[in-house]
Homo-oligomer: A and B are copies of this chain.
Amino acid sequence: MAAEPLRIDDAGDPRIAGFVSIRERDLTGRDGLFIAEGTVVLRMLGSAPARQNGFAAEAILLLESRVAGVAEVLASFPETVPVYVAAAPVFDAIAGFNMHRGVLALGRKPAQAAALLPSLPETSLVLAGCGLSNHDNVGSIFRNAAAFGADAVFLDETSCDPLYRKAIRVSVGSVLTVPFSRGLAAEAMLRGLAEAGYEIWGLSPRGAVPVGEIPAARRIALVLGTEGEGLPETILSSFRTARIPQRPGLDSLNVATASGIALYQIALTMGRVA
Determine which of B146, B246, B268 lies in contact with A247 in the assembled complex, contact meaning CB atoms within 8 Å: B146
At the interface, yes or no: A267 with Cβ under 8 Å from chain B?
yes
Determine which of B147, B148, B257, B265 lies in contact with A144 in the assembled complex, contact meaning CB atoms within 8 Å: B257
| A246, chain B: closest CB distance, angstroms | 4
Determine which of B212, B252, B273 lies in contact with A268 in the assembled complex, contact meaning CB atoms within 8 Å: B212
Determine which of B143, B210, B257, B265 lies in contact with A140 in the assembled complex, contact meaning CB atoms within 8 Å: B257
Question: Considering only CB atoms, which chain B residue lies closest to A257 in the complex?
Answer: B260
- A147 to chain B: which residues have CB within 8 Å? 246-247, 250, 252-253
Q: How many copies of this kind of chain does the complex include?
A: 2
At the interface, yes or no: A251 with Cβ under 8 Å from chain B?
yes
- A260 to chain B: which residues have CB within 8 Å? 253, 257-258, 260-261
Q: A245 contacts B273, CB within 8 Å?
A: yes
Number of interface residues of A (CB under 8 A): 32
Interface centre among A246, A247, A258, A267 (most CB of B within 10 A): A246
- A273 to chain B: which residues have CB within 8 Å? 245-247
CB-CB under 8 A for A140 and B245, given A260-B260, A261-B264, A274-B210? no
Give bound CA distance, A2 to B123, whole Å: 58
Give bound CA distance, A252 to B143, whole Å: 9
| A69, chain B: closest CB distance, angstroms | 16
Determine which of B148, B172, B247, B251 lies in contact with A251 in the assembled complex, contact meaning CB atoms within 8 Å: B172
What 20 additional pairs, Cβ within 8 angstroms, besides A140-B257, A143-B254, A147-B247?
A: A143-B251, A143-B253, A146-B250, A147-B250, A147-B253, A148-B246, A148-B247, A149-B246, A149-B247, A212-B268, A244-B264, A245-B264, A245-B267, A246-B267, A246-B273, A256-B257, A261-B261, A261-B264, A264-B264, A264-B265
A-B residue pairs in contact (CB < 8 Å), sample of 5: A172-B251, A244-B264, A247-B273, A257-B257, A261-B264
Leading 5 A-B pairs by shortest Cβ distance: A245-B273, A257-B260, A147-B246, A149-B247, A172-B251
